[in-house]
Amino acid sequence: MSIIFHEKSKIFHLHNDSISYIMMILENGHLGQLYCGKRIHDREDFSYLLEKAPRPMSSCVYEDDKTFSLEHIRQEMPVYGTTDYRHPAVEVLQENGSRISEFGYQEHRIFSGKPRLEGLPATYTEDDSEAETLIITLKDELTGIKVELSYTIFVKGGIVAKNMCFFNEGNGSVHLTQAMSLCLDLPDYEYEWIQLSGSWARERHVKNRILTHGITAIGSMRGNSSHEQNPFIALKRPSADEQQGEVFGVSLIYSGNFLMQAEVDAHDTLRVLAGINPSGFDWKLDPGEHFQTPEAVLVYSDKGLNGMSQTFHGLYQKRLARGYWRDRERPILNNNWEATYFDFTEEKLVEIAEKAKECGVELFVLDDGWFGKRCSDHAGLGDWIANTERLPNGITGLADRIEDLGMKFGLWVELEMVNKDSDLYRAHPDWILATPGRNQSHGRFQHVLDFSRKEVVDHIYEMIAKILSEAKVSYIKWDMNRSITECYSAVLPSDRQGEIFHRYILGVYDLYERLTSRFPHILFESCASGGGRFDAGMLYYAPQGWASDNSDAAERIKIQYGTSMCYPISSIGAHVSVIPNHQVFRTTPLHTRANVAYFGAFGYELDLNKLSEEEIKEVKEQVCFMKKYRKILQFGTFYRLKSPFEGNEMVWMAVSEDQKTAIVGWYRILNCVNATFTRVELQGLNPNYQYSNSQTGRVHYGDELMNLGLITSDSTAGQAEGDAVPCTDFESRIYVLEAVE
């Protein structure tokens, strides 16, 4: 059993080989948090961990007890206003204007497996033996609001998945104004906070903060998880690093407005909250209705940040991503966007695809500009009908021509948006999110369709499903190029307008679910102007995402490094693009562009016809290399060894499951002269295996490479002369280490 309930002490203990999570029913019926961390032995009574003492100026629950103040007790579902002055996990606005609630224990149940969440992405099990679930029911007797707190502990790994579901069993309506998915109260705040932050073209950079008294928080109010912040944080002990030490990771499986917050109080305890951002959120709950929060995943590791990341990678790759493409190596693709932008014909596309086929590319993707009157970004969005002036035989005809080349065909869409210059908008101007009497802001000359309305989602579904059912489409790149403004629906009453942001995301999830269910063999890639919605919620429907519109190799090192903190390498769309790069106008070597993109879902974002014969030869070698090693690169155990945020060099590596093959990526941003000799200590090898180094031909034991290190010195260590291979800025190398008998 992974979940134990001790009846006498009223204590729950969730545990496996990695983690213990211990809770207690308090004397007032609330649920208290006693311990979360490294696995410890079970015992009948952990109540000694509930420390109470009389404190001056504290408000206390019981008339004759000066020690029981919720201000100083760690809790699972805290509310504000009943002696706890910290930020709450839940707030319920009642008809009389009160926001005070008292949720007391009613019952619990423990069972094998993991239930699905209604209308929301979540981790899952394929066999009930993989996990156990505890559902604890709390109820506020005055209002009749019942809450089910769900905890799933997986048999393997330090993983606890949490969510809440609210039921109105009372006689009156209430409004949920705060409904977090996770609250974790910890006894001290000696942690460094790690977040993934940035903006368009520089997403998910690793940022560190030292926690101190007060609030540390990230979030989004843009309607999408955003380029600026990612719904993931890590808390690491100051002594922890990539290889060792205690780390907590929190990931929210959600694609809309979110909040992740740490609050350190005056007595040095730490409260972590994760869930839907309460700013602008107001969900009306009528009698008989229920509301389900998204799932939050808590990971504990005592093996450093790599240990935490590998736990997330394994879980999200195998038990969050789903379907036909979950475990399959991803096809090498060529996307025409940076090759042509809107300036293309069918013959031009086939010419690009023919050259890609010659180089061994497996999938050709037609990007923006194939539909309606879409000759620029001013028109056509919403009219998902092929432009026969550009494609005389439509998508079906082009797809057939690509298939006849021996390649698969893919298509770009942006289903959530509309241009005002479109037949769809002219027919349904009320289908966009827009506030009456207010300015209608645009982004990239487009407006957001009201996906909180079923008829809107149904219409878009029918249009795109018609194309996918008629044409041989094997891949869909699903883009989303602007955040939500003027968030107002023309059909919902005034007291439900606070639901629109969440209802919008539920509509997106519904459309994804319907399309992926009807077309299970299509590979969906999520995209949001690059990385604006690269989150765990999307991964449930699309097993890979376009990590960033910035394809510059030097910038992508940082973006992909940060992304790997939480998300598996197989989920990271990464392409080789033209030089000078179209985002930063930088020139980097062709081999470095490939060496970065190998660690992801690999492809090309250029017209290969424009490369020299020597470059085409190199591309063919790159494609062969990727085909040979992509299973390891995409699904192997991934280690970060040197951070691009801390120096001029960056190193990462992937190791096969049997530890017989390892691929090390080494990157240096700026060239050096008369530099030091360099080496890097590898990870994940079998210490008793001997490995042959593809760069040098030398053979080393695994323990040598992990303890002495892999030598990466080159001609910059001194003065390059004679037969020394010259180096340049943005240099890189791939070391393949193969076990030898």
Q: Please state, as a whole number, how many other Cβ atoms lie within 10 Å of the Cβ of residue 110.
A: 17
The pLDDT of residue 68 is 93
The pLDDT of residue 720 is 72
Taking Cα atoms as reference points, which of 11, 31, 24 lies closest to residue 76?
A: 31
In whole angstroms, give the CA distance from residue 275 to residue 277: 6
For residue 8, is pLDDT > 80? yes
Asked if 673 and 644 touch (Cβ cutoff 8 Å), the reply is no
In whole angstroms, give the CA distance from residue 555 to residue 197: 14
pLDDT in tens, 555-567: 999 999 999 999 9
For residue 456, is pLDDT > 80? yes
In whole angstroms, give the CA distance from residue 479 to residue 702: 43
The pLDDT of residue 135 is 98
pLDDT in tens, 201-213: 999 999 999 999 9
Q: What residue type is 495 in one-letter code?
A: D
Helix (H) or strand (E) holding 167, with range, is strand 159-168
Q: Please state, as a whole number, how many other Cβ atoms lie within 10 Å of the Cβ of residue 63.
A: 5
- Give the pLDDT band (50/70/90) at residue 741: confident
Helix (H) or strand (E) holding 317, with range, is helix 304-319
Indicate if the alpha-carbon torsion angle 514, 518, 519, 520 is positive or negative: positive
Section 189-202 average pLDDT? 98
3-state secondary structure 388-434: CCCCCCHHHHHHHHHHHCCCEEEEEECCCEECCECHHHHHCHHHECC
pLDDT in tens, 60-77: 999 989 999 999 999 999
Taking Cα atoms as reference points, which of 335, 359, 332, 338 lies closest to residue 581?
A: 338
- Token pair belonging to 593: 């562009």
Residue with tokens 């093959």: 661
Q: Write out the catalytic residue numbers.
A: 479, 549
- Token pair belonging to 729: 């800025």
Three-state SS at 458: helix
pLDDT in tens, 698-738: 999 999 999 999 999 998 998 877 666 778 999 999 999 99
Residue-wise over 423-452: b if at least 16 C-beta within 10 A, else e?
ebbeebeebbbbeeeeeeeeeebbbbbbbb
CA–CA–CA angle 634, 637, 640 (5° rounding): 95
Indicate if the alpha-carbon torsion angle 694, 700, 703, 704 is positive or negative: negative
For residue 425, is pLDDT > 70? yes
Section 373-385 average pLDDT? 96
Taking Cα atoms as reference points, which of 68, 29, 30 lies closest to residue 51?
A: 68
In whole angstroms, give the CA distance from residue 432 to residue 489: 8
- Token pair belonging to 29: 């019926």
The pLDDT of residue 723 is 64
How confident is the prediction for the chain on average, in pLDDT?
97
The pLDDT of residue 727 is 86
For residue 274, is pLDDT > 90? yes
For residue 403, is pLDDT > 70? yes
pLDDT in tens, 465-502: 999 999 999 999 999 999 999 999 999 999 999 999 99
Length of the chain: 741
Three-state SS at 539: helix
637-642 β-sheet, strand order: 637-642, 649-655, 661-668, 731-740, 690-693, 699-701
For residue 441, how many C-alpha atoms fall within 13 Å in the half-sphere facing its CB?
Answer: 8
In whole angstroms, give the CA distance from residue 439 to residue 434: 8
Lowest mean pLDDT, pick from 4-13, 242-251, 591-600, 713-722: 713-722
Q: Which residues pair with 79 in a beta bridge?
A: 90
In whole angstroms, give the CA distance from residue 465 to residue 461: 6
Q: Are strands 710-711 and 247-253 parallel, antiparallel or unpaired?
A: unpaired
For residue 594, is pLDDT > 80? yes
Sequence-ordered strand ranges (E) for 528-644: 544-546, 572-577, 601-605, 637-642
Residue with tokens 């432009």: 387
Residue with tokens 């190998």: 598
Section 428-441 average pLDDT? 97
Q: 454-470 and 500-518 are packed helices; what angle lies between their axes, rounded to 10 degrees?
A: 20
In whole angstroms, give the CA distance from residue 297 to residue 147: 19
In whole angstroms, give the CA distance from residue 365 to residue 474: 9
The pLDDT of residue 655 is 98
Cβ neighbourhood burial of 39 (10 Å; 0-12, 13-18, 19+): middle
- DSSP, residue by residue, 110-145: EEES-PPPTTS-----SSGGGEEEEEEEEEETTTTE
Q: Which residues pair with 233 in a beta bridge?
A: 195, 250
